Amino acid sequence: MCNVIDLTDMQKSQEVFLQFLESKPNMINIKNKFGVSRAQTLSILSEVIGVLSETKIHKWWDLGQVNQEKLLEKLVESFSHISNIATQFNVNLIVEKDIEPIESLESQFLKITGNIIQLPFIKKYFAKKKIELIFYQYIQLVYGLGFSIEDIEKAYYKKLEKSYAKFNSQEDILMDELRHVLGELYEEFGHTAVTQRLSEILDEYIVIQQRESLECYKQLQE
């Protein structure tokens, strides 16, 4: 009997975070309703290549120690991007079969990157099957690098909390800049109907952002 690997809770958390990001000004997530977009493909590919880079298995000239913390972080970032497209195509991140050991790290990276590269060139139905295969190969890679599912879960939620804090901090900076601009308008034009309305709009925007941040925080704690 095989052990079931179910990362759908992480997948749901990632979905909430993606919606949080997409709600931000100038955040444009390019999607293709008929399949996986080139941008999405490159985002996953770049993160998996980041994992490869941290392993140093191809860097015969680099005799330094592998930074296990950084390697785990790159694995988590890879999961996030795999999760994003899996959710878009209604693929649940569950593996219900035995995880076979990898032949070698080199061959595993070639397999998973080869499948990722194919994503934008296949239709939606086949893309879903390919995403399932990529996720399975990702789990194989996690084990092949000596990590456990518990390691991935713990590191994911730690990074997710930092990501929320990072983007909320950027929001705070933007709010300060808007307040400063509004203050300059008051100094130059005084209390007019226009400056009053701008102040009200800013207050409404702040309330909305605070409400969104609170909801995201609640999701993170559940």
Tokens 């909390």 locate to: 161
Length of the chain: 222
Res 216 pLDDT > 80: no
**Would strands 5-6 and 94-95 be described as parallel, antiparallel, or unpaired?**
antiparallel
CB atoms under 10 Å from CB of 58, counted, come to 12
pLDDT at 15: 93
Nearest to 86 by CA among 3, 6, 167, 2: 6
pLDDT higher than threshold 50 for residue 43: yes
| pLDDT level of residue 130 (50, 70, 90 thresholds) | very high
162: CB partners within 8 A, 6+ apart: none
Q: Residue 210 has what pLDDT? A: 57
**What pLDDT band is residue 29 in, cutting at 50, 70 and 90?**
confident
Residue 160 scores a pLDDT above 50: yes
Mean per-residue pLDDT, 139-145 = 97
Mean pLDDT over 8-36 rounds to 83
The span from the CA of 68 to the CA of 38, in Å, is 30
Give the model's pLDDT for residue 24: 74
Query: What DSSP state is assigned to residue 61?
Result: T
pLDDT tens profile 55-65: 999 999 998 99
Q: What is the pTM of this model?
A: 0.76
Q: pLDDT at position 1, please?
A: 41
Read off the pLDDT of each residue in 88-101 and give the average, rounded to a whole number.
94
Nearest to 52 by CA among 112, 118, 101, 139: 112
Q: How confident is the model at residue 70 (pLDDT cuts 50, 70, 90)?
A: very high
Specify the higher pLDDT residue, 206 or 35. 35
What whole-number distance in Å separates Cα of residue 32 and Cα of residue 114? 20
